[in-house]
A and B are shown apart, each in its own frame.
Chain A
């Protein structure tokens, strides 16, 4: 099954299945949205290296041990969720029936691969038990209430196990839309709540940070992303490689100034390796002036609104060292200690973690990541690979950490021609390599909302909200 085709099918299905039910009197209404899985598979301990991701069937069993995994992406749901049901359909074959339909649990991993997951490398089923199905018959629908687990838009994984030696077999998403698993999300039942909360910003408005890296060239991508900035207020950030190929003053005037340069007065930039192709990045520092900080350092910090601290670092470590005992990292730790703001975002050019094919994850910046993690920072923004990628909150070793983890972004989508992806790293939650765009961060009092804003004429989007630590 072609994944892209499947996504498109899902999107169409969601649109078609948003149903509004008006109750008598018109004071209450409910809407339901039905989602198909974006991935489903099972593993089998009698064939530990085998993946069944493209199979039409999903199995749970205790002899051999079979476990099944389902993942859904809930999107477009607004308003309070009143009920969420996970529906699964037993296969129409002899033997699919069982005295035990399985134990359904939540899972923290939402980035396992449908085509690579095997018994040997399976994700852990580590969430709360959501429900248990008793006897299941052949060719029937069954439902598990997962309202406690699915609380809003986002990615959700389910793991299913069985203690019965007589396993149950369900239809997978590859079986077709008539029998594929479903997640049915109902919002707004009950007699009261007025229409869902307004999506418009609260009075006074939270501060906005908007930008990208890898920006200005002789091509047209920079023009497309600059046009987005024209209608997004706030502080503009860059993530390095502001201009190609060599960061000369002439290139800044020719390529950057007519595009992103329109927003120079509200821009706080980051230097990249191409900026340092001119010795000392004199083109960069000369163009941005005091906004870029001390030209011998390139790192600086500032506050936004009442609750946010913004840190710009220089990952061109051969020009400005990045090591654990470097002046820069020493400054970073002191700056973090001195900040009284509850939320912190840091940004630089070279990504610590990236699935991009062209630049490997960079360990030179590991001292930055460690210092930020030690100080409970919230966000890291980088560029360098010409694409968009968002990670889950992770610790410095790229392990999922929903308590103290930092969400890493690669936003190299500012205008330079795109790169492809290589091996997709663990905890990579969203990716795109064919759309120029900017990342808009709305900085709430104790949370942030991210939104990838695509160039005109494109549809890729990615958004969500996470609380500060």
Chain B
């Protein structure tokens, strides 16, 4: 938490350093003789979002208030502890890449990737980063798409290019199939165990994985884009309505201890990997017909009602909290 002020102070420096990936920054900006941005827009914890693709932060206590907008462009972003991860936009001549930054947005590592950015997660400690890209097709609502999901261990430098290389146990038995796709990883607190979606043979299953062992095993069906709660007891996910993705998805919470599932009060179809703002609150993005992304929240216990948290923003992630 002590790094928050420092982080905002150095954003303008980071901006310069990141010029290589900030493709179209400020062509209309006036001469840079203006004072550097040093004022924190509201004190306290902050939430990282994307504002039309620009990495931004808002106050957790006043998310509709002033917004710090950097020049760093991402299609997806996430953060955990002191690590910020960004999947850079696919341009006319450029493929995407994973850019790993520190809390001051200084780039530490870049991994070139192929496909369209779709999901991105950093573990609560900031050590593990997982991404999902569309390789063929563009929608989870159809058949015939393919995804690629990879994991970076920032401590060891190990890169799992594709979870499809892991050993699969399905319904208790070893399983192999060329139609396997993975998406939507979420990490547990030990930075080894993780959850993800496995699609094969017409089923979409929640899997629990073991990074060190290189294994995954199925737990239950019709769970997509899992997100583990900060306390590790629940998974928020999107559940295909009637097990048919063409009908849309209902945000749902699975209690890992009891196996109980609780549909949340959001009844609009949500095609996002939910994020936990805290142990009681789920955040997610919804897009309006004109392409405006808005970040909404809904209580994790199934009660209450959806609330607009941050207009014009998606990819929410709480900054500097253990547990995301």
Q: Which residues of A contact B (CB under 8 A)?
A: 1-4, 45-55, 64-65, 109, 113-116, 118-124, 245, 355, 357-358, 360-363, 366, 417, 419-424, 426, 430-435, 460
Contact = CB atoms under 8 A, between A and B. Distances in A.
B297 interface: no
B193 to A, nearest CB: 31
Q: Please indicate which of the listed interface residues B28, B38, B56, B65 has the most CB atoms of chain A within 10 Å of its own CB.
A: B28
Interface string B91-111: 111000000000000000000
A50 B37 contact: yes
Contacts of B56: 51, 116
Contacts of A419: 138-139
Contacts of B294: 2-3
Interface in B279-302: 287-292, 294
The 8 A-B residue pairs with the shortest CB-CB distance, nearest first, are A421-B291, A115-B312, A423-B53, A363-B92, A358-B138, A45-B34, A49-B37, A434-B289
A11 to B, nearest CB: 14
B67 A433 contact: no
Contacts of A424: 52, 291
A355 B293 CA distance: 13
Interface of B: 11-12, 24-26, 28-30, 34-39, 41, 51-54, 56, 64-71, 73, 75, 89-93, 116, 138-139, 141-142, 144, 287-292, 294, 308, 311-313
B11 to A, nearest CB: 6
Contact of B69 (A3, A50, A124, A245): A50
Given A48-B35, A53-B67, A423 B75 contact: yes
Contacts of B308: 1-2
A115 B66 contact: no
Contact of B138 (A50, A124, A357, A362): A357
A3 B308 CA distance: 11
B92 A362 contact: yes
Contacts of A48: 12, 34-37
B24 to A, nearest CB: 8
Nearest to B144: A245
11 contacts: A47-B66, A50-B68, A51-B69, A113-B52, A115-B52, A115-B312, A116-B52, A121-B71, A417-B139, A417-B142, A422-B89
Contacts of A245: 144
A245 B144 CA distance: 11
B67 A358 contact: no
Contact of B54 (A116, A362, A430): A116
Nearest to B116: A358
B35 to A, nearest CB: 6
Most chain-A Cβ atoms within 10 A of its Cβ — which of B12, B56, B67, B294? B67
Contact of B65 (A54, A119, A124, A421): A54
Given A50-B67, A115-B313, A123 B28 contact: yes
Given A2-B311, A49-B11, 16 more contacts: A50-B39, A51-B56, A54-B311, A113-B52, A113-B312, A115-B67, A115-B312, A116-B52, A119-B30, A120-B29, A122-B28, A360-B92, A361-B91, A417-B139, A421-B290, A422-B89
Contact of A51 (B66, B71, B92, B142): B66
A345 B28 CA distance: 30
Contacts, number: 152
Contacts of B290: 3-4, 421, 430-433
A46 B288 contact: no
Determine chain A's interface SS by DSSP, over half rule.
loop
Contacts of A114: 312
A64 B26 CA distance: 20
Given A116-B51, A120-B29, A361-B92, A4 B292 contact: yes
Contacts of A109: 28
Contacts of B66: 47, 50-52, 55
B312 A420 contact: no
B287 A420 contact: yes
Of A64, A357, A417, most buried by chain B (CB within 10 Å of CB) is: A357
A246 to B, nearest CB: 11
A49 B91 contact: no
B241 to A, nearest CB: 16
A109 B30 CA distance: 16
Contact of A122 (B29, B70, B139): B29
A4 B91 contact: no
A360 B289 CA distance: 19
A3 B289 contact: no
B52 A3 contact: no
B73 A435 contact: no
Contacts of B11: 49
